[in-house]
Structure 1
Amino acid sequence: MAAPTKKNASSACVIPGGFTVLSLKYRTNSTAQHQLCVKEHRVRAQTSEHRPPDRTLFVLNVPPYCSQSVVKDLFSQFGPVQHVELSEKPGAAEDKHPDLSPYFTPEQKQCFKVAYVVFKHSSGVAAAKAHPYDSPLIVSTKEKQVHTGLKKWIREYTQSFIKPELLQKAVDDFVSQYDKRKEEEAELQKKEAEEQQEDEEGWVKVTKGGKGIKSRPHSEAANQRALQKEHNKKKRKELLNFYTWQHRNSKREHIAELRRKFEEDKQRIALLRAQRKFRPY
């Protein structure tokens, strides 16, 4: 990384690449100082509603002890923050499932991360980029303390215990939603099977939908029947003309069948001529 260039003591620190360097301290009296690199998030190939380009701030080098709530509190001084997204590396926004229970989510990896801070107004991004380098952001204050080290481990260990009644309720809700979803899928498949059911002659009733209605794709039952027919057809033709004598015999049988049909057609034409019903022209 190139050395930051500062015009004066109260100006923002901008480095090559368009990043603004913000200083970060754990406490006010801490001697160690950390640096965050921020930049307005603009990616042409990525169009996400969760990361609007004019209100999203891209943050690099976020320490492991900074959670989503901590990052939100840090950047709230520049303007109201809508939401914060933490990721191990830059990339497209991941589609999260809101129905997942918090008790079954995978554990987050403890490492330096990148953050996407989405402000409610575009002025928040400009204020963060114009923040002076010599005015560090404070992580842990008296009002909002952020624990690290042994205190953090003890706090996380105590929070890892789950009350049995809450866990049981989460499991029951998940099972009930799963059963309901399976019942809806079974009902839909049953309805499609009834609509795609063949009559005695092998015909399937096809109805035309109203104006603007999209055509319904083939049901799973219809697809299975088609695959089974193709499988049976291939099985009947399996090794039919594998040997030379098989190919010669099938050729001879085909010629005999054509001759037989030709004789039948000659007899039919002769009968029509006798009845004066044969008019080829």
Structure 2
Amino acid sequence: MRLIAFLNDQGQPALGARASGDELLDLSAAGAPATLDEVLRQGDAGFAALRQALERATVRRPLAGLRYLPPVQQPGKAFAIGLNYMDHAAESKFDVPKVPVVFPRYPSSWVAHGQPLVRPHVSTQFDYEAELVAVIGKAGRYIPKERALEHVAGYSIFNDGSVRDYQLRTSQWMMGKNFDASGSFGPEFVTADELPPGASGLRIQCRLNGETLQDANTKSMIFDVATLVASCSEAMALQPGDIIITGTPSGVGLARKPQVWMKPGDTCEVEIERIGILRNGIVDEA
């Protein structure tokens, strides 16, 4: 199932299923929960309600002009993973990590598909990062790696927009990774049963103004999704709706010669095979 969160004609959150062509079926209009957050909290019953709504849904909405929302509205925890591709660790001049490098990313720092990424007025070093997102669907603590994928409900796409001078001026990356509206999340949530285990083996790309700057494969992650779920669950119990933003491959603007930064008027696209394309324009902070 491919789900899209959006605002309906009344400006209320709603949930749709991608239909054939350039339309979605409005599942909320057919009685389904209004958000993926609620579906995930309900577990199997929530997904059963979606399937029932899909059978009786009649309201179709064009994707053109749709007001997208991030797939998960308010995750309790958003873990972002640094240096999770060997070539990216090398270009960033860091040692290859022996354990996952984890930092927080807050919902105020991202926008939905189609909404602008905001370059803050305090910096011009605004970088892109193409990343896979794993969405937790089943709670757990101390989850063994061999059972970890049972806790993943599905996957989406993230642009981990980074303000590099703020990120690197201390040993803690949190500030440069959490400027308001600096990243993006979406457009679709794809259930795990539609993808290879752990969403491994999928091509991942980033394009800036049509030029491909990152081009890799999710099988090249140092720590795969199962490892990340198990590792994060050692510190705290994972809950439905939590997300893990799994890291970016090489080709970021910081490491290029000359360096490449996102600027107002640009368009950035992150594409992951079989999941979709996340597209955002860039604007300056008002």
TM-score of the superposition, structure 2-length normalised?
Answer: 0.21
User: RCO (CA 8 Å, sep 6+): is it higher in 1 or 2?
Assistant: 2
More helix by share: 1
More strand by share: 2
TM-score of the superposition, structure 1-length normalised?
Answer: 0.21
Larger Rg: 1
